[in-house]
Chain A
Amino acid sequence: MDEPIARIDDVSVRFGERVVLQNCSLEIPEGAITCIIGLSGAGKSTILRLLDGLLLPNSGHVYLREHDICHMRESQLIEMRTKIGFAFQFAALFDSMTVGDNISLPLREHTTLSEKEIRDIVMHTLESVGLAHTYDNMPSELSGGMLKRAGFARAVVTNPELVLYDEPTTGVDPIVTHLLTDTIKRLRKQLNATAVVISHDLQSIYMMADYVAMLFEGAIIANGTVDEVRKSTNPIVQQFLQGSEVGPIPL
């Protein structure tokens, strides 16, 4: 594996009585697309929130390069988050702003660029996700797939080192799924960034992933290249990949 850009080290997360992650460890190789798979409610999105410092673990450590996110002050977290892009499952665009303003926001708040420069960057980013014509639209005027791509644009507009995608292909048709998968691959190359993608869509994962990690009952049970995970002898991994009802996974 390549050198890790981020690392989750022996992390446990509990929400009340419910244990979501239990002594979970995972390395995110730099410059690659790592897909995290697992059952619904397994804690995949929790991993993304840990990596972005939106959630602190009950125990363990989360590192971005050599910096421990768990011991950062709020101001350091804000600085760190400017290096990370987060594309939310339902885009989470601010519905009181136009698409253009949504994507301009991090540039307006974190840079000293002029309005013209910001507009140029935003237009270029929108073009790269095929949405140049939506600059003045409100989020409510976009379709599900377009919203997701606008979310991608906002996540990558600051040229982050690490981009986190939370279920980017959930709830869209196969053609849009293909388009979104292709966009993620293209953006990774274009930005020379690292991507972590949470997904249930195996076809899409096989298409874009360099590495796959499977989360089950709060821990990573398989981690490696796509081929390595597909050839895993772990019956849980095989049952999940085959989508079978028969096997050790309790339904």
Chain B
Amino acid sequence: MAQVLREVEESPTAQAVERVSVGVLASVGRRVSDMLEFAGGLTLLMWETIKTIARLRIRFAETLNQCYLLGYQSLIIVLLTSLFTGMVFSLESAVQAVQYGFGSFVGGIVSYTVVRELGPMLSAVVVAGRACAAIAAELGSMEVTEQIEALKSLGLAPVRFLVVPRLLALMIMLPLLTVFADVIGVYGGQWIAHAQAHIGTEDFMASARQTVGFEDVVKGLFKALVFAVVIVMIGSYQGLTTKGGAAGVGKSATSAVVTCIILIFILNFVMSYFLYAGA
């Protein structure tokens, strides 16, 4: 019996199966280990950032500068994205709604969707594509050119110097951008509803006012605040852990944007589930 077992174990098929199994297990193990390292590192960075903000060790001039770079410079792209999304949403829904006799609801449907979901999420995705990549690339480039080590060697904490100003700036600017996105998205929708389905401006706006409350706007802005934290922390973490020269910087920027956008979609669902449960 032992002889048979040994022969089976030593057969090429058994050895190939063993090799594949070990390879798969090693690959899964590596991925789990990488994910745990990422989660742990991100938590530590977050903790360090919270401690720095709590001690009020804030560089105000740099925070203002980042408001301009991360927020103001994203304004046009956020407005364009939101305008066309509101317009296309209205285009798809307004004509159909009028055909079925629900024309008076179009304003509510468009503004409800824009304020609760599309405004915060699309603004975050657009800013993530721009700002998250920029943060990861800038910090990554500083890491591979020893500038981060130089900061430390001068007795300066990179978190205070680099992460906190970006975080505070985007926590101010992303909710603001979301407000602009909401307004322009609703107006874009209203314009198309009027042009394509002949829905009156007053009817559209009356329906919007009836459907969307102040609470919905606040919840949308809360989402934007959470997305701002996600964008800056992921970008900063990927940047500060960059390894391997220019290729590493590119990899960090790509990885930061991909991770960030996936997290924005997941968190948007989670927040919608809890914020609007029962609504």
Contacts and interface: CB of A to CB of B under 8 A. Distances in A.
A92 B149 contact: yes
Contacts of A52: 153
- Give chain B's interface residue range (CB within 8 Å of chain A): 10 to 19
B145 interface: yes
A211 to B, nearest CB: 23
B148 to A, nearest CB: 9
Contact of A54 (B145, B149, B157): B149
B76 to A, nearest CB: 23
Contacts of B152: 54, 81
Contact of A92 (B147, B155, B157): B147
Residue picked from B142, B146, B150, most chain A C-beta under 10 Å: B150
Interface string B143-169: 001110111111111000000000000
Interface residues of A, number: 22
Interface in A126-179: 154
A86 B152 CA distance: 10
B154 A81 contact: yes
A140 B156 CA distance: 23
B5 to A, nearest CB: 35
A54 B150 CA distance: 10
A4 interface: no
B155 A86 contact: no
A107 B155 CA distance: 11
Contacts of A84: 153
B153 A109 contact: no
A86 B153 CA distance: 6
A81 B157 CA distance: 12
Contacts of B156: 78, 105-106, 109
A89 interface: yes
Interface string B126-143: 000000000000000010
Nearest to B154: A106
A143 to B, nearest CB: 17
Contacts of B142: 94
A115 interface: no
A66 interface: no
Contact of A78 (B145, B150, B157): B157
A90 B153 CA distance: 15
A74 B155 CA distance: 10
Point out which of B142, B146, B147, B155 has the most chain A C-beta atoms below 10 A from its C-beta: B155
B154 A92 contact: no
A54 B149 CA distance: 7
Contacts of A90: 145-146
A84 B152 CA distance: 11
Nearest to B48: A74
**Interface core residue of B142, B146, B151, B153 (most chain A CB under 10 Å):** B153
Nearest to A88: B146
B153 A78 contact: no
A81 B145 CA distance: 20
A22 interface: no
A109 B149 CA distance: 16
A152 to B, nearest CB: 13
B146 A94 contact: no
Nearest to B149: A54
B150 A94 contact: yes
A116 interface: no
Contacts of A54: 149, 152-153
A82 interface: yes
Closest 9 CB pairs of A and B: A86-B153, A92-B150, A92-B146, A81-B155, A78-B155, A106-B154, A82-B155, A88-B146, A92-B147
13 contacts: A78-B155, A82-B155, A84-B153, A86-B150, A88-B146, A92-B145, A92-B147, A93-B150, A105-B154, A106-B155, A106-B156, A109-B154, A109-B155
Given A89-B146, A95-B147, A106-B154, 16 more contacts: A54-B149, A74-B157, A79-B155, A81-B152, A82-B155, A84-B153, A86-B150, A88-B153, A90-B146, A92-B146, A92-B147, A92-B149, A94-B147, A106-B156, A109-B154, A154-B150
